[in-house]
Chains A and B, each alone.
Chain A
């Protein structure tokens, strides 16, 4: 049985923290779990760092912080909820804020029987009420990540009851609650 030193424990703790595990109790769980695996499977004169690097990779699919993200997700999502990708979320916003105006115009054209023709007063209404939300969504969608956007690329958006909306960024350290 390998005897793990305090220095090695500090090394593991720093490493898991650096890789996105910031919840203290989760850090403690993972630290103890990794230490047990090392103690039980590494030979007395084995290479600690190499064994650790191989072991920690078995904990996740792509990145260690997935465990932190999953924990935060389960802890914060109460009741019915839905998780959207960034693109799906913007599509939903588009449907909610702009869709009704387009639907109204299409319905008007169908009912009037005038084909693809809209009188100026209808078209003006659409432009005034749909253009502003469209521009806002357009700016939000296109803001590059280096300008600290409200919804970063690769983030996920949780919509539920409590919280109503939560942006889950790619890095859980920057999580924000809405």
Chain B
């Protein structure tokens, strides 16, 4: 996905609750790319260059690890606050 597409996807998935600003998105993408967690592919559109970002193998492993950490944290908070998960 390219930058604009990422912001739109996040908006769509969170029903407009989370809006990623350009000022937060691009510095983070550059840092993740420098760390080797993202790979990029450039596409030339006339005088413009569109950069498509995707997770590298290291990025996928790191992402899995972070999602697991977040999941554990959320479970802990749910049990700590005694929140009953909604059932359909």
A and B found bound together: yes
Q: Which of A36, A60, A61 has most B Cβ within 10 Å? A: A36
Residues of A within 8 A of B (CB): 6, 9-10, 23, 25-26, 28-33, 35-37, 58-61, 66-67, 70-71, 73-75
Q: Check B48 against A59 for contact (C-beta < 8 Å).
A: no
Q: Which residues of B contact A10 (CB under 8 A)?
A: 47
Interface of A is mostly: helix
Q: Which residues of A contact B47 (CB under 8 A)?
A: 6, 9-10
CA–CA, A26 and B51, complex, Å: 10
Q: Check A28 against B51 for contact (C-beta < 8 Å).
A: yes
Interface of B is mostly: helix
Q: Name which of B10-18, B27-35, B56-64, B79-87 contacts chain A.
A: B27-35
Contact of A67 among B27, B46, B49 (CB under 8 A): B27
Known: A71-B27, A74-B31. 19 other contacts (CB 8 A): A9-B47, A9-B48, A25-B51, A28-B48, A29-B3, A29-B26, A31-B48, A31-B49, A33-B3, A33-B22, A35-B48, A36-B4, A59-B21, A61-B23, A67-B22, A67-B23, A67-B26, A70-B23, A74-B30
Q: Check A70 against B22 for contact (C-beta < 8 Å).
A: no
**B residues contacting the other copy or chain, number (CB 8 A):** 22
Task: Give the nearest-CB partner of A7 in chain B.
Answer: B47
Contact of A74 among B4, B28, B42, B45 (CB under 8 A): B28
CA–CA, A58 and B42, complex, Å: 25
CA–CA, A30 and B51, complex, Å: 11
Q: Which residues of A contact B21 (CB under 8 A)?
A: 59
